[in-house]
């Protein structure tokens, strides 16, 4: 019998956040990875998550040297992520980034880091969202001229709006409309075309080609995205609903195991999925 491969040691930042906790809990149920290090920033006051000690993120550079993880998994806030990624570069640790809401400077910082270490960024680690994006690209190509509206709903604690996933979907739609139906992963999310209309108020008739984008914040909704495409005779709606944060954690850990030992470079969750097909 072939022995199981050695579990990939990972570090988890934002260990006390919604996603950080879920990543640690999900990893504890898997054989292919193990949480070697969990950190959270000093404002938090939690000692352990799922039996894993939570250390001070301010000490991350030295902790990476001591615990020697292969991959860091990050779901925090953009300013923290860029600092953590700099520590990864110093210690030659790859990084899986689930954090959303980066501005141009933050994205450039991650791009620069990816010249030194493997860096995999995705606004959404749910496999269902990967399927939704493929379906939307296909539908938009089949339905030229149809009105498109993208609506996302998240819990009332979400900071950035619209969601990184909604921006990725809109970028996909714009790419198909401009004749490019390839999957660019998250690489185009920071663009902002004239066609994007965020919410509507007052007298605002719809222009042809407009892409409406709507962000709703309520309760503890894990994450929903709907893409509506319609002309005057028919309507197509494609919806994804995350039923639990475990789906994002599972995808991020799949990505971490895939990324370990890969060369420096910029990767997306699509690369992981395509590699499996
Ligand atoms: P959360 O608010 O529950 O957790 C945020 C974490 O970041 C906490 O641990 C908090 O202590 C830490 N943090 C906050 N401010 C900090 C600072 N200044 N310095 C260092 N750490 C800081 O949020 P969440 O729901 O876990 O989401 C975190 C991020 O992950 C968000 O950007 C969210 O959009 C994104 N997210 C991505 C996916 C995906 O699949 N890619 C899925 C869910 C959430």
Q: pLDDT tens across 212-238, in order? A: 999 999 999 999 999 999 999 999 999
Which atom in ligand 1 lies closest to the alpha carbon of residue 20? 26
Q: What is the mean pLDDT of residues 82-109?
A: 97
* pLDDT of 63 higher than 80: yes
Catalytic: which of 41, 104, 121, 158? 158
Expressed in angstroms, the distance from the first to the final Cα of the chain is 26
Of all protein residues, the one whose alpha carbon is nearest to atom 4 of ligand 1 is: 17
pTM, two decimal places:
0.91
Other Cβ atoms closer than 10 A to 262: 14
**Average per-residue pLDDT in the chain?**
93
Annotation marks residue 225 as catalytic = no
Q: Give pLDDT, residue 171.
A: 94
* pLDDT of 193 higher than 90: no
By DSSP bridging, strand 211-217 and strand 33-40 are unpaired
* pLDDT of 185 higher than 60: no
Q: Give pLDDT, residue 45.
A: 72
Token pair recorded at residue 250? 């599972």
Token pair recorded at residue 121? 């960024």
Q: Give pLDDT, residue 190.
A: 46
* pLDDT of 182 higher than 90: no
Q: What is the mean pLDDT of residues 46-73?
A: 96
221 lines ligand 1 (CB under 6 A): no
Q: Give pLDDT, residue 191.
A: 47
Q: How many angstroms separate the alpha carbon of residue 154 from the centre of ligand 1?
A: 13
In the sheet that 52-56 helps form, which strands lie side by side, from edge to edge? 48-49, 52-56, 33-40, 8-12, 71-74, 94-97, 118-121, 265-267
Residue to mutate (ligand 1; options 19, 80, 96; most atoms within 8 A of CB): 19
Q: Give pLDDT, residue 261.
A: 85
153 lines ligand 1 (CB under 6 A): no
The fraction of the chain above a pLDDT of 70, given in percent, is: 93
Catalytic: which of 154, 167, 214, 225? 154
Q: 274 phi and psi, to 5 degrees?
A: -65, -35
Q: Give pLDDT, residue 46.
A: 78
Of all protein residues, the one whose alpha carbon is nearest to atom 40 of ligand 1 is: 124
Q: What is the mean pLDDT of residues 24-38?
A: 97
Q: Give pLDDT, residue 43.
A: 63
* pLDDT of 115 higher than 60: yes
Annotation marks residue 154 as catalytic = yes
Q: Give pLDDT, residue 1.
A: 59
Of all protein residues, the one whose alpha carbon is nearest to atom 13 of ligand 1 is: 76
């Amino acid at each position: 019998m072939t022995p199981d491969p050695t579990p990939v040691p990972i570090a988890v930042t934002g260990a006390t956040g919604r996603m950080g906790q879920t990543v640690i809990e999900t990893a504890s149920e898997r054989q292919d990875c193990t949480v070697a290090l969990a950190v959270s920033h000093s404002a938090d006051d939690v000692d352990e998550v799922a039996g894993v000690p939570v250390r001070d993120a301010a000490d991350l550079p030295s902790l990476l040297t001591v615990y020697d993880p292969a991959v860091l998994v990050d779901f925090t806030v953009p300013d923290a992520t860029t600092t953590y990624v700099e520590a990864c570069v110093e210690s030659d640790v790859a990084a899986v980034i689930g954090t959303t809401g980066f501005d141009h400077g933050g994205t450039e910082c991650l791009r620069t880091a990816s010249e030194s270490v493997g860096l995999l960024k995705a606004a959404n680690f749910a496999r269902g969202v990967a399927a939704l994006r493929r379906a939307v690209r296909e539908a938009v190509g089949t339905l030229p001229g149809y009105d498109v509206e993208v609506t996302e709903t998240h819990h009332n604690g979400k900071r950035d709006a619209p969601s990184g996933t909604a921006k990725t979907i809109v970028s996909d739609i714009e790419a198909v409309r401009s004749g490019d139906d390839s999957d660019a992963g998250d690489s185009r999310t920071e663009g902002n075309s004239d066609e994007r209309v965020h919410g509507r108020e007052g007298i605002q008739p719809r222009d042809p080609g407009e892409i409406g984008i709507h962000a709703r914040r309520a309760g503890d909704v894990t994450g929903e995205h709907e893409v509506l495409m319609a002309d005057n005779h028919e309507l197509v709606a494609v919806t994804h609903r995350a039923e639990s944060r475990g789906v994002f954690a599972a995808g991020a850990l799949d990505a971490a195991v895939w990324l370990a030992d890969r060369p420096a470079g910029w990767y997306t969750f699509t690369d992981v999925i395509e590699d499996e097909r």
